[in-house]
């Protein structure tokens, strides 16, 4: 999945694009939004990066959380940001294993998402 980096977080492509549009309408876009060297990701979302932002020690979900345009909703009504489809480091695999052992809906979701790993 393509992700945007903004304000020290990762956002799914739909939310990242929506943030860019909101900031542009508010007059807060950089002068040259296509020149990523001209601004910091804390000021304006940097354009999409592949692979969910890359390998991580944790499963990554959209930083918009429950307000994500592609949020995952559980039967109890709880919502989490869209899964960003990132790969896991060895520590990340262990983190998911532990979460699965502890149980819960998010852990069940991760077990599904990371079924190619030996969990």
Taking residue 111's Cβ as centre, other Cβ atoms within 10 Å add up to: 15
- Cα 69 from Cα 18, distance rounded (Å): 9
**Per residue in 56-85, pLDDT tens?**
999 999 999 999 999 999 999 999 999 999
Mean pLDDT of 44-63: 94
* Residue, of 97 and 119, whose pLDDT is higher: 97
Residue 54 has pLDDT above 90, yes or no: yes
Q: Which helix (H) or strand (E) holds 7?
A: none
pTM passes above 0.85? yes
Give the rounded distance of the alpha carbon of 43 from its chain centre.
Answer: 18
Mean pLDDT of 38-45: 96
């Amino acid at each position: 999945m393509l992700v945007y980096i903004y304000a020290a977080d990762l956002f799914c492509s739909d939310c990242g694009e929506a943030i860019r549009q909101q900031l542009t309408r508010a007059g807060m876009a950089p002068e040259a939004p296509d020149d990523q060297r001209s601004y910091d990701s804390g000021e304006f979302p940097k354009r999409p990066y592949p692979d969910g932002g890359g390998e991580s020690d944790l499963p990554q979900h959209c930083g918009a959380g429950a307000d994500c345009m592609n949020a995952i909703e559980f039967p109890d009504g709880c919502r989490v940001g869209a899964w960003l489809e990132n790969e896991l480091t060895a520590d990340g695999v262990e983190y998911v294993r532990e979460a699965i052992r502890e149980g819960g809906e998010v852990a069940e979701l991760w077990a599904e998402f990371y079924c190619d790993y030996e969990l």
